[in-house]
Amino acid sequence: MLPLTVLMPVCDTPADMLHQAIDSILGQSFGDFEFLMVDDGSRRQETRDCLNGYLKADARVRVLWEEHCGVTAALNTGLRHARGAFIARQDADDWSEPSRLEAQVEFLRAHPDTGLCGTAAWTHQENGRRLWLRRLPLGNEEILAAFWHGSPFMHGSVMFERERALSIGGYREEFPCSQDYDFLWRLAEAAGAANLSDALYHYRYASRSVSARRAAEQANTFQAAQKLALARRRGETEDVAGALAGGEGLSSIFDAALKQADHLMLAGAYGSACQAYLHLVMARPASGRAWAKLGRCALFVAIPQIREVCFR
C-alpha cells in the first residue's frame, strides 16, 4: 500500500487554475504518493486535455473519468479507489505550499491518536490576488467546539486516514452541499483532529462556485449536519432523511444568501456582489445587517488597504 493518495475532484475547472493546483502537488517535497483525480463529467475540452497531459507526463497521476454525479459522489469514488493509507484533499482551483504533504504526513505519523489534520491557509481572490491569512483552531477540543459555529477546517487542506474515513461511511451522498462540514465533523469525533499553524494551503474564492439560488439548500444542509451531530451527542440514531426534511427558516435562507454575497465580494466579482446585496436590501429593507454589508462592500471595493479590517 502507498503511504498517501492525493484526492482531487475536477469538473470543468479552467486550465490555468488546474495547472496551478496540479503543479503545486507534483512539486511537493514529499513525493511518495499517487495523485488521484476524479473527473466529474467535465464538458470543457481544455479541462480534459489538461488532465490527459498530466496523465501521460507523470506516473503518479491517475484519472478516473466519471459521469457527472456531483462532488460528493466524486469524493466517495476517490475514497473507494485510493491506494494510500492517508488521503490528502486538494481542490482543483486552489494550490498547496511545497512542504504541505511532508508536514502533514510527519504530524500524523507522530500523533497516532490523531487521524485528521488540516492547516492554516492564505485566502485569495479569483484572480489570485492575496487577501489575508485564515487561522484555524489547532487542538482537538477546540476544533470539536468550533464545529457548532461552522467548519474549523479548510476542506482542501485536510489529510486523514483512509480506513477511518471509510469506517464512518465516507461523505453522505444525501448532502448536495455542506458535505465536507458533515464529513469532517464525524471524522473528527471518530479519529481526533488537529490543524497545523503554518499556512500551507492557498484557498481561492471563485465566483463560478457561488449561486444565490442555492442559499436555501445550503442553509438546510448546514442545519441538518448540526441536528445529526446533536443526535450523536445524545446517543440517538441519526435520521439523515429526517434532518434534511426538517426545512430551514426564512432567517437561515437570508443569512445564507448574505454569506454567498460575501463570497462573491471576496472573489472579486464586485458587480455581482453589489447586485446580490441590493436584492437582499430590497427584499428586507428593515434589515440592518443587509444595509451594513452593502456599505461594507462599497468600502471593500473603494479602499483596498482596509479590506481585511472592514471584512472582519
Q: Which domains does the chain have, with CATH numbers?
A: 2-207 (3.90.550.10), 210-311 (no CATH)
Alpha helices in the chain (DSSP H): 15-26, 45-57, 71-81, 100-110, 140-146, 162-167, 179-191, 215-234, 240-245, 250-267, 270-283, 288-302, 307-311
Q: Would you say how long the chain is, in residues? A: 312
Instruction: Classify residue 141 by burial, with Cβ atoms within 10 Å: 0-12, 13-18, 19+.
Output: exposed
Average pLDDT taken over every residue of the chain:
92
Given this model, what pLDDT does residue 216 score?
A: 72
Please say whether the beta carbons of 18 and 47 come within 8 A: yes
Query: Any idea what DSSP says for residue 305?
Result: G
What's the farthest any 2 CA atoms get from each other in the chain? 59
Over residues 178-200, the mean pLDDT reads: 96
Given this model, what pLDDT does residue 213 score?
A: 54
Model pTM?
0.93
- Three-state DSSP at 65 gives strand
Over residues 33-42, the mean pLDDT reads: 97
Name which of 7-11, 113-117, 255-259 the model is least confident about.
Answer: 255-259
Neighbouring-strand partners of residue 194: 117
Task: Calculate ∠ Cα 146-152-153, nearest 5°.
Answer: 165
